[in-house]
Chains A and B, each alone.
Chain A
């Protein structure tokens, strides 16, 4: 047996043992897996033990920028939730469009996706926008488990949607590709899948809505109290994000973390009064487990790379795709199954461990569709966030509607499958039909 395979099995084995048997958090499980892999490499395969500690600390640094983006984005999301911006948006959409349920449902789906788009975290979508939209859907008559499914799917599609898609960032970083030009393919896939999902699950319950039935879930006063200025934080965020790209010479790129904090500061003065310090404490309390997971993934990937196990995975995938006749079919089946399945461990880990090698092989076959393929691959990876037992977004969504996750997951299956199939179609035709993206 190859030494790389032995190390890979030790690392995965340790992680699974820590996660499933000892019930340790994913972050700690991944860190333990990395430590075990490093020890086996150092003790049995001639690795330099004195350097292993440095590598374990160096791994998380790959995700430092991502940590800053997610943490500040969560501060922003909490600020606009507390100031009432999200509730006001919700209110406007429902009261204006309840007679046109198709448009109302699509806009509600975009609201659920919005926090994930901004933060790159599906958990943010469920906890902030999901918590506001779910009661409205239930009042409309959508069953609880289906409401949970819509929130979970919306959250993971938001995680995949631009501008921040962490798995796409990880995949792009893994092949030294700048995270640029991802917006169009990501929007294309996530919006189509989001629209299909919400209409497929909810439309039949929303054909004849009476606004009086929804009044208990809405807060119409909030828009009247604060007027248009309640939307200023979102407008400031959009302007800052877009302006520095459109006018790069006039406006320096101040970076997403600072942009989020500026928009969060604006939220303190445009809506309901809230304590910014308490809001920050609350948001970071929710975010720390996600950030910890990123740190664990960083260690895990660093040791996988150091020991050659990651290269071994790439080599095996290349060998598989080279099998005459069925090689590419096997590759697409592997992408469709392995990427989401690895999400049971971590979707971020899936992006790094599987997404990068898969993209390298795909580039070999479709050299002109790199960005579109990386974007589509990241969407498949994001579906992994529904995979139990980790399934952060799914479990939070189930808790939100007070249902078991198994019941919610059942209704997520078809939308998840549609996302995977559409992403595969985009990959296959990345050089031709979808080259405009």
Chain B
């Protein structure tokens, strides 16, 4: 249970920076890359998958 919470916290940590990267990145292709990564991380954070 503790490890699960820590790993959810790690996902929040990474998500924050990847979302930050998506909004600050100027190249649209890199923004799409970031969006592709964000989708499964958000789904895991919400424990949907």
Contacting residues, chain B, for A390 (C-beta < 8 A): none
**Contact partner of B32 among A28, A57, A252, A255, CB < 8 A?**
A28
Question: Cβ of B29 and Cβ of A255 under 8 Å apart?
Answer: no
| Chain A, interface SS category | helix
**Contact partner of B33 among A28, A57, A254, CB < 8 A?**
A28
In the assembled complex, the Cα of A61 lies from the Cα of B48 at a distance in Å of 11
| Chain B, interface SS category | helix
In the assembled complex, the Cα of A252 lies from the Cα of B6 at a distance in Å of 14
**Contact partner of B29 among A25, A280, A281, CB < 8 A?**
A25
Contacting residues, chain A, for B44 (C-beta < 8 A): 61, 64
A257 at the interface (CB under 8 A from B): yes
Give a binary string over A56-86; 1 marks a CB under 8 Å from any B CB, 0 the rest. Answer: 0110110010011001100000000000000
Q: Which residues 26-49 in B have Cβ within 8 Å of A in the complex? A: 29-30, 32-34, 36-37, 39-41, 43-44, 49
Question: Cβ of B40 and Cβ of A72 under 8 Å apart?
Answer: no
**Contact partner of A289 among B14, B30, B40, B49, CB < 8 A?**
B30
Question: Cβ of B39 and Cβ of A288 under 8 Å apart?
Answer: no
Instruction: Kindly state the interface size class of chain B when it binds its partner.
Output: 20 to 34
- At the interface with chain B, which of A97-105, A130-138, A291-299, A398-406? A291-299
Question: Cβ of A64 and Cβ of B40 under 8 Å apart?
Answer: yes
A284 at the interface (CB under 8 A from B): yes
A261 at the interface (CB under 8 A from B): yes
**Contact partner of B14 among A60, A71, A296, CB < 8 A?**
A71
Contacting residues, chain B, for A252 (C-beta < 8 A): 3
Whole-angstrom distance between the Cβ of A6 and the nearest chain B Cβ: 26
Question: Cβ of A288 and Cβ of B33 under 8 Å apart?
Answer: yes
Q: Which residues 277-323 in A have Cβ within 8 Å of B in the complex? A: 280-281, 284-285, 288-289, 291-293, 295-296
Sample 22 A-B pairs with CB under 8 A, ordered by A number.
A25-B29, A25-B30, A27-B32, A27-B33, A61-B40, A64-B40, A67-B37, A68-B7, A68-B11, A72-B14, A252-B3, A257-B10, A258-B3, A261-B13, A281-B20, A284-B14, A288-B34, A289-B33, A291-B33, A291-B37, A293-B33, A295-B36
A residues adjacent to B (C-beta < 8 A): 24-25, 27-28, 31, 57-58, 60-61, 64, 67-68, 71-72, 252, 254-255, 257-258, 261, 280-281, 284-285, 288-289, 291-293, 295-296
